[in-house]
Structure 1
Amino acid sequence: MHKSVAIVGSGPTAIYALQELISCPLPLSISIYEASAVAGKGTPYQYGFNDPVMLSNIPSVEIPTLPETLVDWLRGTTDEYLSEFDLVRGEINDRSFYPRVVLGDFFRTQFKSIVAEGEQRRHDITVVESCRVTDVAMVNSQFELVRSINGREEREVFDFVVAATGHNFPTDPETSPGYFSAPWPAEKLKSVPCGPVGILGTSLSAIDAVVTVATDFGAFRRGTDGKLIYSPHDGCENFSAVMMSRKGLLPEADFYFPIPYEAPRICTREAVDERCALGASGLLDDIFDLFRAEILDADPQYAALIGLDGLTVDTFAAAYYGQRDQVDPFIWAERNLIEAKNNYRRQYTVPWRYAILITHEIIETAVSYLNADDLHRFNRSFKGIFADEYATVPHLSIERLLALHAAGKLSILALGDESQISTDSIDRGASVHLPAGSRYFQTFIDATGQQSLSADESLFPTLVDQGLIREAKTLTARGNHVRTGGIDVDARCRPAVRGIAAARRLFIPAVSYLLHKRPFIQGITSAAELGKIVGEAIKDDVTRLRRTRRRPKGVPTSAKVLSLTD
């Protein structure tokens, strides 16, 4: 009988897991459950959840292997499809950025191709759309999955369960009149009235939010000099937006760098692994020493400029943001955009930027070894500089912000450490309270992105009750444990629990539950990594040689030999 696998979710993580699973030499019975009406896209790339103006920040060249590349797929689409998104066929290339919904259509096509290939390889694959999985329970050595279809509850038992629910956002983000806890689903922002809008955040998610609202009240166009211009529609002159964050800085423009990543010379995976093996005491400071040496080796001039020799893991961020903190964010953004475009034309890579970029995933591997005190230090300042480099944004996103600012429709507010955001005593929106005074916004959107979730927020409460999903805890320097959010899993994304054999068949490659120890695990490349890990683990389990009974002399050849998993 075929082993059965349930995959909850059908976005990139599920797609890459499925791509790995269909290479299993033994036939599998695979069921894929998708809460939305269309499987194979993923929440960040669905229509309705995203507005067509929302851009992805990954180019074709960085998307891990699928049946087609994004560029080849785009070149095979119709002129009508391309014109819908103002895309020019002759300008399609593997370094450009495209709307999120375009990536969704691309992933949908790849998903269907992988399903068809899996069926050709004798796997039984079922895709169930508009189906929400409400719970999972361990039953003996299997898992009973509870699903809801059109209000009807159904149950089915599986050998393996994969929770590939990468994002968790409310279906209705307007939690009080004019206050949105997230900018998604983007279609909900269509209700925003013309007036002052506050956007919490300055990352790509926040840019998507402000651009989505702005295109309801105006339009972007290119001037005769090629510069982007924003003009409000008649009657929408009262629209304005303020983006805000603790520092009040805008993200930087995507910069040119070699792909695939070149290997670091000093802060290598081997060096970090060796140091982690020595224990948690002093680990963060020693990892920073490796990082500092890598920056110095890559770009001595930059190292001298920021005084790298005298910096620590706690002071590096202040030096990193140094000059940028002192310049108007829009002036800095314009200068940075010009530099980034010039470097793309020259195919020049800024050495210190690239050194930070190529070490971020290596340094992330040490995070799970940090004690609670060092984890707090890491999160407080050091983590952010890596995000600033790997989360640079498309050039068009910066151009749109500059156009809104030039039209007098966008400003930036630095919140500092003593601000408060409140919805108390107001009928709509929110007030932002600062030491210097308060500001009121008719509409307020929290666009800070996916937050880390914990066991008590799990989609599957019965697994929590059964002890298979537990709140993550981290050892402090004093020897006690504290909760740090998220769920602890092993290297194969299985719950980190002992003594429960079934836990080996439950996989949680869900980003929102892993962020506490994998702070950079967002995006398609991470989804591909997680999906491949899970797919390989299930294949290994299915095909593992469990038990072999050698046939003693004289035993008939019809004697049973157990060689595969039970």
Structure 2
Amino acid sequence: MGRIAIVGTGPTGIYAFQRLLEAAPEGEITLFEKGEKIGLGMPYSPEVSSKSMLANIASIEIPPITTTYLDWLEDQPESLLRSYGVDPDVLDERHFTPRLLLGEYFQDQLLVLVDQALASGMQVEIHEQTEVVDVTAEDGALFVTTADGSVEGPFERVILATGHDFPDADEATRSYFPSPWSGLIDAEVPAVRVGVMGTSLSSIDAAMAVANQHGRFRRKGGALSFETEAKGLHITLMSWTGVLPEADFYCPLPYEPLQIMTEAAVADCAAQARPLDALFELMRAEITLSDPGYAERIGLAGLTADTFAAAYFAAREVQDPFRWARKNLEEVEHNKAHRITVPWRYALLRMHETVEAIVPDLSTSERQRFDDGLKTVFVDNYAAVPSESIRRLLALHDAGVLSILALGKDYDLDRQTDRTVIRTQSETHVFDVFIDARGQKALTSADLPFPSLRDALAKAGQDIPERAQDYSLTGVPGYEGRLVLAAIPYLMHDRPFVQGITVSAEIGAEIAKGMTAGRVRRQA
């Protein structure tokens, strides 16, 4: 397959390396990692995470690399696990652990892969603390330029697996953080009014990063409490609706097949005059089949693709969010203990990846309808958070340091030098510190940090890079079939749910499959 460069060694880069090693152990691969050590990945590194931040994926869902995450955990010293607050006596394949511990797993697994690769005869070159700042095409090959001015190459292929892209820490100030990953972990946040935009797991992480500076969580029996002597500390999570995410629910894994919303049925929707309406008919039928009681309770027969989201969130929006969270947590924990699956939740969870296939074919107006309605339902469903995260929110609320604010869609945000002011239709809220935790945004070609590649895409007229099945660029002279764009933010336009470790594994497999197919054709 020639010499290959992988830029970024988080989960996507690791799974791509794994699959390439399996497909062509005699190859030559160069790994470039911007961070201090290979294998951690941005969300799992000490630079942006703390021990209080939980991963929302368990071993049962993580595609094994050289071993499963659970087996790896069981092989670790008890002292290491306890240092992360993990009890080695209760490890389970559905157990959620801190992100930093998951990062140690990925780093260890990559190092094992490197040893296996070297033993098989593969040539592996590693560049840590090396930022790639450009990728150029010349004479049928690609070259990478690093921050120190070095040029590496030629490469037959370059895989950009740079992961999430959030503002740098130097864009943060004492009173404003453009994301939870922009210096918040190392910042000293005073005990003041703190506003957090968003209510997802990223927002919960931001709240934990602040709260842990001013108090500590204590567990007594089965109850969790938060103790603090800080005066003036109050954290507000906010969103349009003010609803909290629900706790992760029990369901069979791997997924059982859908009965009605099959890949073929969804593909047929794309040919309809109003594909979103055709898609919703499949959703309605699948939910009704799996859980007729739920369908009747929300009046599913009379709903449409545009009204389903309102019915889905209705009960949560009218109740106090913390009361709902307690009730939901109790239900989820009961169901986990008794291995009970709520059919309608499981149906929605299995649907989202199948539904995603139709998104690139939607017209602008249909895509807007999807984003405003059904997308919010699927995101809420698959982005359920660990039960422990809900317990922590409830403990903070009980301690009087956490509240939820429903902004509505009509509000004004005024970011000033030393504070942030938010005005809704009825109230004005002032925050001494403000954290924008709304998560990863979809990026375009203009956002790429590689000027030569960016210019080539602009000349090719590609605002959103066009990619083949194996994520290699198409229609870009010099880069076509050689540059593999597997960075999550640049995939989100066509694949709105393209986040998470399982997706990273799928991307890595497709990359290796594409390269292997080309290799077989050339040999033939």
TM-score of the alignment, normalized to the shorter chain, above 0.5: yes
Name the CA distance, whole Å, in 2 between partners of 1:81 and 1:468: 49
Name the CA distance, whole Å, in 2 between partners of 1:384 and 1:127: 41
Match of 2:468 among 484, 490, 509: 490
Deviations 1:296-350 (A, max 9, x none): 1111110011111111111000000111111000000000000000000110000
In structure 1, the residue matched to 2:197 is 200
Name the CA distance, whole Å, in 1 between partners of 2:167 and 2:24: 40
In the TM superposition, what is the alpha-carbon distance from 1:502 to its structure 2 partner? 4.1
In structure 2, the residue matched to 1:231 is 227
Are residues 1:270 and 2:264 paired? yes
In structure 1, the residue matched to 2:214 is 217
In structure 2, the residue matched to 1:480 is none
In the TM superposition, what is the alpha-carbon distance from 1:268 to its structure 2 partner? 0.9
Name the CA distance, whole Å, in 2 between partners of 1:226 and 1:245: 30
Code of the residue aligned with 2:497 in structure 1: it is: F
For the residue of structure 1 that corresponds to 2:373, the secondary structure is helix
Bigger shift: residues 263-272 or 178-187: 178-187
Code of the residue aligned with 1:78 in structure 2: it is: P
Residues 348/35 of structure 1: CA separation in 2 closer, same or farther (3 Å cut)? same
Contact 2:49 2:185 in 1 (8 A): no
Are residues 1:506 and 2:483 paired? yes
Match of 2:443 among 434, 439, 453: 453
Contact 1:48 1:187 in 2 (8 A): no
Contact 2:457 2:465 in 1 (8 A): no
Contact 1:160 1:506 in 2 (8 A): yes
Name the CA distance, whole Å, in 2 between partners of 1:194 and 1:93: 37
In the TM superposition, what is the alpha-carbon distance from 1:501 to its structure 2 partner? 6.6
In the TM superposition, what is the alpha-carbon distance from 1:369 to its structure 2 partner? 1.1
Q: Which has the larger radius of gyration?
A: 1
Contact 2:413 2:423 in 1 (8 A): yes
In the TM superposition, what is the alpha-carbon distance from 1:467 to its structure 2 partner? 3.0
Residues 471/252 of structure 1: CA separation in 2 closer, same or farther (3 Å cut)? farther
In structure 2, the residue matched to 1:429 is 419
Give ranges in structure 1 of 5+ residues lacking alignment: 474-485, 547-562
1:365-404 equivalences in 2 (<5 Å): 365-404=357-396
For the residue of structure 1 that corresponds to 2:63, the secondary structure is coil
Name the CA distance, whole Å, in 1 between partners of 2:500 and 2:252: 19
Contact 1:190 1:213 in 2 (8 A): no
Contact 2:143 2:151 in 1 (8 A): no
Code of the residue aligned with 1:341 in structure 2: it is: E
Name the CA distance, whole Å, in 1 between partners of 2:498 and 2:461: 19
In the TM superposition, what is the alpha-carbon distance from 1:173 to its structure 2 partner? 5.8
Contact 1:132 1:147 in 2 (8 A): yes
In the TM superposition, what is the alpha-carbon distance from 1:434 to its structure 2 partner? 1.0
Are residues 1:323 and 2:320 paired? no
In the TM superposition, what is the alpha-carbon distance from 1:288 to its structure 2 partner? 1.1
Name the CA distance, whole Å, in 2 between partners of 1:59 and 1:339: 20
In structure 1, the residue matched to 2:142 is 143
In structure 2, the residue matched to 1:529 is 506
Contact 1:8 1:165 in 2 (8 A): yes
For the residue of structure 2 that corresponds to 1:191, the secondary structure is coil
Name the CA distance, whole Å, in 1 between partners of 2:372 and 2:182: 30
* RMSD, matched Cα: 1.7
Percent identity between matched residues is 38
Deviations 1:382-412 (A, max 9, x none): 1010011111000000000000000110000
Bigger shift: residues 17-26 or 108-117: 17-26
Code of the residue aligned with 1:217 in structure 2: it is: H
Name the CA distance, whole Å, in 1 between partners of 2:402 and 2:452: 47
Contact 1:178 1:444 in 2 (8 A): yes
Name the CA distance, whole Å, in 2 between partners of 1:37 and 1:381: 41
Contact 1:147 1:153 in 2 (8 A): yes
For the residue of structure 1 that corresponds to 2:22, the secondary structure is coil
In structure 2, the residue matched to 1:550 is none
Code of the residue aligned with 2:141 in structure 1: it is: Q
Deviations 1:186-206 (A, max 9, x none): 654532111110000000000
Bigger shift: residues 112-121 or 254-263: 112-121
Code of the residue aligned with 1:99 in structure 2: it is: P
Code of the residue aligned with 1:446 in structure 2: it is: D
In the TM superposition, what is the alpha-carbon distance from 1:470 to its structure 2 partner? 6.2
Are residues 1:77 and 2:76 paired? yes
Name the CA distance, whole Å, in 1 between partners of 2:461 and 2:426: 40
In the TM superposition, what is the alpha-carbon distance from 1:472 to its structure 2 partner? 5.6
Contact 2:172 2:183 in 1 (8 A): no
In structure 2, the residue matched to 1:180 is 177
In the TM superposition, what is the alpha-carbon distance from 1:55 to its structure 2 partner? 0.4
Match of 1:348 among 335, 340, 343: 340
Match of 2:494 among 517, 523, 545: 517
Contact 1:463 1:469 in 2 (8 A): no
In structure 1, the residue matched to 2:253 is 259
Name the CA distance, whole Å, in 1 between partners of 2:461 and 2:195: 34
Match of 2:236 among 222, 229, 242: 242
Name the CA distance, whole Å, in 2 between partners of 1:173 and 1:271: 48
Code of the residue aligned with 1:487 in structure 2: it is: P
Residues 118/398 of structure 1: CA separation in 2 closer, same or farther (3 Å cut)? same
In structure 2, the residue matched to 1:476 is none
Name the CA distance, whole Å, in 1 between partners of 2:215 and 2:495: 39
In structure 1, the residue matched to 2:92 is 93
Name the CA distance, whole Å, in 2 between partners of 1:191 and 1:469: 45
1:2-41 equivalences in 2 (<5 Å): 3-25=2-24, 27-41=26-40
Name the CA distance, whole Å, in 2 between partners of 1:368 and 1:404: 41
In structure 1, the residue matched to 2:521 is 545
Name the CA distance, whole Å, in 2 between partners of 1:140 and 1:488: 22
Contact 2:473 2:479 in 1 (8 A): no
Give ranges in structure 2 of 5+ residues lacking alignment: none
Residues 326/21 of structure 1: CA separation in 2 closer, same or farther (3 Å cut)? same
Name the CA distance, whole Å, in 1 between partners of 2:102 and 2:499: 16
Contact 1:421 1:431 in 2 (8 A): yes
Match of 1:291 among 283, 286, 295: 283
Code of the residue aligned with 2:23 in structure 1: it is: C
For the residue of structure 1 that corresponds to 2:92, the secondary structure is coil
